[in-house]
Every structure is written in structure tokens, then in C-alpha cells.
Structure 1
Amino acid sequence: MATINRLNESLSVAPQLQPEDMAELAKAGFKTVLNNRPDGESEDQPSSAELAAAAEAAGLEYAHQPVVGNNISDVDIDGFDAIVSLAEQPVLAFCRTGTRCTTLWALTQADEQDNASILATAEQAGYDLSQLADRLDQRRGQ
């Protein structure tokens, strides 16, 4: 199974998951799986429908919010925040490497934490988001 990196009590991130991972995720205590990859992004990824069926069979909630990694919009950020906030927690969000999900999370935190705290949390989870500082400031309206 993919490496799971915890960002906070309610949200962890991971690289690409497989349908066979869902039962193990349920046993690990996750309640919701959030897929941030568009279907067909790479040939080796399972479809969202396959993942949703496996998640449901394992007793997990499943959400699919396709986000293009190099073109994250404010709508994507707000959508991610809404899904995580309303989902049964804890949530495991995944994409190809986990960076896109971590970026989405970081951008939702702009009004709640300073850049240093956000970037340190991401780094502790294994993601270098240092290039995100200006975008975080923009989200704050600075």
C-alpha cells in the first residue's frame, strides 16, 4: 500500500491508491477517501469508478474531485476544503504523489496558519511546498 502522510488529525495524504488498499484503509480507521486525480491522467491508474466501488465495499465514503496539479484554481481549493470539512473523518486524500492534495490542503490553511507553519507541516509529511508562499499570501489577500 502507498505511504500515508498525516497532515493533521482529520486529514492525511497519499500517492496513488489501488482498489485493494480500501479494506486496509478502513481497518486503519479512515472513514473517507478523496481522489484528486482526473481519470485517465496516466495509463496505470485505476478509474474513479473502480476505486469508488472498492471503497464502498470496504465501508468507506468516497469522493472524487479531479484537480489538474499545475493549474489549481480557487474553486478547486474551496471544493477541497468543503469536501474535507463535510466528510466523515479522518479523510485520506490522494493523487499521483500526494503533492497536489498537500498543496490543496495548504491553500485552505492560508487564513488559519502562517506560511512557516503550513510549509513546516507539509515538509514533515514529506512535501516541499516552499514555492507556494506567494500563493498563500494571495489567498490571504496580502
Structure 2
Amino acid sequence: MDIRKIDDNLSVSPQIAVEDVAEIARLGFRTLVANRPDREEPGQPAMADIEAAATEHGLQWVYLPVASGNITDQNVDQFAPMIRDAEKPVLAFCRSGTRCTVLWALSSARDHGPEEVLSRARQAGYDITGLIPRLIQQANKH
């Protein structure tokens, strides 16, 4: 697993395996969020199997699939309250972790400046500078 901490409430990861869920729980995560659509690519673990493992290990499960390269304002509007209300800390995963980071960044831009959001993403290993116009747009919604 390649878990990358965004802040005290959220970490992101590329695709996890069913076998990773026990370790995720052992690491102290309380909520597991899937931002990847089921069957997005051949060979990807079934979300139902990951959900069952999450439940077995006492994790809150959230399935919020988002199409790669097509994150809408509606997706951001769903992600923001989900993260706010989830048991923390949260681990969100997708194919590479980028979608989760983008969802977090766009929702966080409403409460934090774009520079802070870019910095946190960069520290986690994600370059989202291409999102600057959308980050500013989201910041102006606040």
C-alpha cells in the first residue's frame, strides 16, 4: 500500500486489495472511501469484496465513485460533507490516489486558500497545479 497523508483527517491511496483492509484498520483508519467505479478496469478488486472486508474490520464504508478525468461540482458537493461527517481518520482510494486528492482539493478550496491546498497535495506527492482555475472558482463559492 502507498498511503499518503493529506492532513490529519484524510489520507489517500492508489487501489487497495481486499487483503489490505485489515492493515488499514490496524493503522487506525475509521472510514474507508472508494472513489473508483466498480469494474473500471479488468482485474480490479470488486468493491463489494472490499466493503465486506471493511465491515468485518469495523470500518465505516463509503462508495462515492467518480469517473476519472471528469470530476464535477456535484461530485465535490458530495465529497465535502461526507469527509466532514465521516469517522476520522479517513482513507480514500481510487486508481492512483489522484481523484481522491482532487476531490479533497476542490472541496477544501472553499475553506482554505488555493496555495495551502496545492501545498498539501504537493507534500503528498500529487501535482495538481492544473486545477488552479477550478480551485479559485471553488474558493469564490465560500
TM-score class, shorter: over 0.9
Cα distance, 1:141 vs structure 2: 3.2
Alignment of 1:93-132 (within 5 A): 93-132=92-131
How far apart are the structure 1 equivalents of 2:53 and 2:108?
31
Ranges in structure 1 where 5+ consecutive residues have no aligned partner: none
Ranges in structure 2 where 5+ consecutive residues have no aligned partner: none
Cα distance, 1:86 vs structure 2: 1.2
Letter in 2 for 1:122: A
How many residues were matched structurally?
A: 141
- Counterpart residue number, 1:133: 132
- Counterpart residue number, 2:82: 83
Tell me the TM-score normalised to structure 1 length. 0.95
- Counterpart residue number, 1:19: 18
Tell me the TM-score normalised to structure 2 length. 0.95
Runs of 4+ aligned structure 1 residues displaced above 4 Å come to: none
Letter in 2 for 1:116: E
Q: Deviations over 1:28-71 (max 9, x none)?
A: 00000000000111112111111100111111111100001211
Q: What's the secondary structure of 1:140's corresponding residue?
A: helix
- Counterpart residue number, 2:73: 74
CA contact (8 A) 2:9 2:89 kept: yes
RMSD over aligned Cα atoms:
1.1
How far apart are the structure 1 equivalents of 2:114 and 2:123?
14
